[in-house]
Chain A
Amino acid sequence: MKLAYWMYAGPAHIGTLRVASSFKNVHAIMHAPLGDDYFNVMRSMLERERDFTPVTASIVDRHVLARGSQEKVVDNISRKDKQERPNLIVLTPTCTSSILQEDLQNFVDRAATTSKSDVILADVNHYRINEFQAADRTLDQVVRYYLDKANRKGNLDISLTKKPSANIIGIFTLGFHNQHDCRELKRLLKDLGIEINQVIPEGGFVENLNKLPKAWFNLVPYRETGLMTAKYLEKEFGMSYISTTPMGIVDIANCIRQIQEKINIWAPILLNKKMNYESYIDEQTRFISQAAWFSRSIDCQNLTGKKAVVFGDTTHAASITKILACEMGIRVSCAGTYCKHDEEWFKEQVQNFCDEILVTDDHTKVGDMIARVEPSAIFGTQMERHIGKRLDIPCGVISSPVHIQNFTLGYRPFLGYEGTNQVADLVYNSFTLGMEDHLLEIFGGHDTKEVITKSLSTDTDLTWSSESQMELNKIPGFVRGKIKRNTEKFARQNSITIITTETMYAAKESLNA
């Protein structure tokens, strides 16, 4: 047992549901007790989804506990099959159902015989893996299922596309700025003359997965999800993949050079020429993206040697650490991640760019570290933002878990050349705000802090009884003034001189205040 208040990564089934609901026309059925469908709320609220989230629950209740699910799961699958006609139904176990040890695979096999949809059982162990690992695994499972199926049916398409093309693997719902990143990646590839074969899972159709091998290579932008699928495709179809995250000027260039390498395996044969992207990289770096110029400008000079702390998922924490250290000359005192399962890779990535490395999923350890280091700015998750608030240190949010304000309506990629601009803004704004705060403190602020006339009422003719004063103090600060004024107004109208709690309620009733 572990005493926990906060967790960075969610439970496994969330990962599975995120992948399943990112595909089009795929429905997930959770084998779960009432109330476990909280995923629908998150998707509907955070992503502001217009469509009903294609996730329902086959409810595990007291009866199921006593007698087993029996026909219930199968019925729910066939019912969903008839109602929505999805291409695929993913039966998703939850932590509750996995201890029940019912033979869910048997339900799936039975349901598959009668339903028009394909039916699979998500293969995730709740007590061993987290949200990210489960997402990675589920994506791999779905891709395998459809490539195997195509292979058996003989409609597997492994001929390469005429023009160079790529699959983007790992863009999905509730991912940190994933939608914007996807658009930016598409633009980048288009600039390079590369077509998009498929983007999975977001917006993809499972029926098209048999055409995945047609791409010349796979691009896996995020470390956490997609690598399993990419490795499977490499092993099975010899498709090479690139897993360098194109975040920050240096890594974008690295990524593009790797793309060039992969393209040039086939280009001389299929296109009769070799591709060279060096001039593109140079043009973008020096003139299109503003980030390279920014790091030369005197603004950025002021940031030199300032201390920062970075914490987040492996992809974002590693990339931001490298950007801060190499591209902006900021001293990263500590870089950390909560993805304990990928500890080795993370350490290898950041070891030369920071003073210390912290791998933990305990937010109190992160908080203690920040308090000890006392950085000028933090780059972390929502949790670090709150730690920053408490310690009065500005924080830029660079990774999940996040709140609704990180699902921006405006275009905010972290990847690609536009991403470099966004990251530069984020970093710079965090620091200047911190600096400004500091100066204000030294020079006593913009303005006199005490506002002389706080309320419109004069306090002379009315007395508040001690209880009503206490009652008033219970009212949240931002409305207290208004309620005080209205109560006093009411008291004057009714020639009451001593305000009691009763007067307060009477005022509320009469004034609708």
Chain B
Amino acid sequence: MSIKISETLIFECETGNYHTFCPISCVAWLYQKIEDSFFLVVGTKTCGYFLQNALGVMIFAEPRYAMAELEEGDISAQLNDYQELKRLCLQIKKDRNPSVIIWIGTCTTEIIKMDLEGMAPKLEIEIEIPIVVARANGLDYAFTQGEDTVLAAMVHRCPNQENLITNKQKIKENKSKKTLSSFIETGEKIDISIKNSVNKIPLVLFGSLPSMVASQLSLELKHQSINVSGWLPAQRYIDLPVLSNQVYVCGVNPFLSRTATTLMRRRKCKLIGAPFPIGPDGTRAWIEEICYVFGLQTQGLEQKEQKIWENLKNYLDLVRGKSVFFMGDNLLEISLARFLIRCGMIVYEIGIPYMDKRYQAAELTLLQATCKKMCIPMPRIVEKPDNYNQIQRMRELQPDLAITGMAHANPLEARGINTKWSVEFTFAQIHGFANAKDVLELITRPLRRNNNLENLGWTNLVKKG
């Protein structure tokens, strides 16, 4: 099998037999991001077992998520779904008193056609806590797309300008019944958000980022005199941003196409299609695109990017000319590949679970431009990859680095192929100028390890035959 590398971007589609995380894993980072939320995953033991093992230590930290574990009686409809969910949600309300409960629908609720969307509004009135339904199941989605379904569902809950104040007051009253301190806290927050919302052109950014990274990106835009009027999601559910047809929205992650669509179609927001702020090149392009839409001249951006690249010199020396193979599992692949090509690496293949060419259009264009600029052949983009075929291709290409899931990492390492677990890119801070280093820190880790272990003579650790 020989691999042709062409001048234009090639899109392929394979069998979809690949390894990735179940989209319900999004609760892992979302429950931490949205501080007053509670995630209830309505599924079976299989879902629970996955979460428990994938989240490792987090499970012991009294997380704000739980399984509503379906039993035989639920599957065969001997038990009343509504009553069962009501019982569990009341329990959650009693124990944790969250500002929102998010139901995560799973494969099982899809198959038995449990009407979560139908039940939620009724139950919401009954228990007086908002219930948001997201169908983050493995039948339809992969890994990070789970966040996409949750955020898309949250779009409907974002206040309009008019109902903002009344809504907040309602929540405030509810909360004040419970504790005095939360009352004071929400009171303060309202003042700030009202102040912020009287901004010339409102810009809402969507995508869940650690609060540090979010404020870094906001600050970058502030340097260009752009005030970010809100984030979806905000640190707390009660601080969801105001949306209207006046609002511009821009994504920070490549896997948020449903959220983008929902923002445009349901809330009539104006989407700014930009590359994603991953890597200094991506960050600059992202800011430039927003500035362009707002009719602003960027200031000092080029020098800033230049400076970041200079600071990365040591890492760039390590990666230059090395080849990468993305097996594909978290949809960050295009942006990461684009950044790595700009760093001087050669990308053989970009595996990706799902490719939204419209939502990622600007990113794809930048990828193409980057390839031309660096005089590197365009990589092939393989949607719904087949891991077995990919391993055959890798055997032939012998890339310097494979970016892959944990199921394949150790076996590939044993066969002398360096790997980096793709999951780490989802949890590490990779956005903005300041974090470009973190990406390269991850990428070069196996390469640096090799420099340390070189000449020991045991790269291949599997028995022949």
User: Hey, which bits of chain A sit against chain B, CB under 8 A?
Assistant: 1-7, 10-11, 13-14, 32-38, 40-42, 44-45, 48-53, 56-57, 59-62, 65, 76, 83, 94-96, 99-100, 126-128, 130, 383, 386, 389, 403, 471, 474-475, 501-502, 505, 508-510, 512
Contact = CB atoms under 8 A, between A and B. Distances in A.
A36 B17 contact: no
Contacts of A41: 19, 53-54, 405-407
Contacts of A386: 60
B49 interface: yes
B437 A471 contact: no
Nearest to A507: B434
Contacts of B124: none
Interface stretch (B167-175, B209-217, B236-244, B446-454): B209-217
B50 A38 contact: yes
B407 A505 contact: no
Contacts of A126: 44-46
Contacts of B74: 1
A56 B19 CA distance: 9
B350 to A, nearest CB: 19
Given A11-B49, A60-B107, A509-B434, A127 B72 contact: yes
Given A40-B407, A53-B407, A95 B311 contact: no
B91 interface: yes
B164 interface: no
Interface of B: 16-17, 19-24, 42, 44-46, 48-50, 52-54, 56, 59-60, 63, 66-72, 74-75, 79, 84-85, 87-88, 91-92, 107-108, 110-112, 137-143, 211-212, 215-216, 219, 307-308, 311, 388, 391, 405-411, 414, 433-434, 437, 461-462
Contact of A35 (B108, B138, B219): B138
B408 A52 contact: yes
B139 A60 contact: yes
Given A35-B20, A57-B17, A510-B307, 12 more contacts: A1-B71, A1-B88, A2-B68, A2-B71, A11-B49, A37-B19, A37-B407, A45-B410, A50-B461, A59-B17, A65-B110, A509-B434
Given A41-B405, A99-B111, A7 B52 contact: yes
Nearest to B304: A509
Given A96-B108, A96-B111, A3 B45 contact: no
A59 B137 CA distance: 13
B43 to A, nearest CB: 8
A189 B216 CA distance: 65
A99 B75 contact: yes
Contact of B411 (A51, A383, A389, A502): A51
A1 B67 CA distance: 9
Contacts of B111: 65, 96, 99-100
A44 B69 contact: no
A55 B113 CA distance: 29
Contacts of A32: 138
Contacts of A14: 49
A2 B69 contact: yes
B434 A505 contact: yes
19 contacts: A1-B42, A1-B84, A1-B87, A5-B59, A5-B67, A13-B46, A14-B49, A38-B21, A41-B407, A44-B408, A44-B409, A59-B17, A127-B71, A128-B72, A471-B212, A501-B219, A505-B219, A509-B307, A509-B308
B23 A35 contact: yes
A44 B411 contact: yes
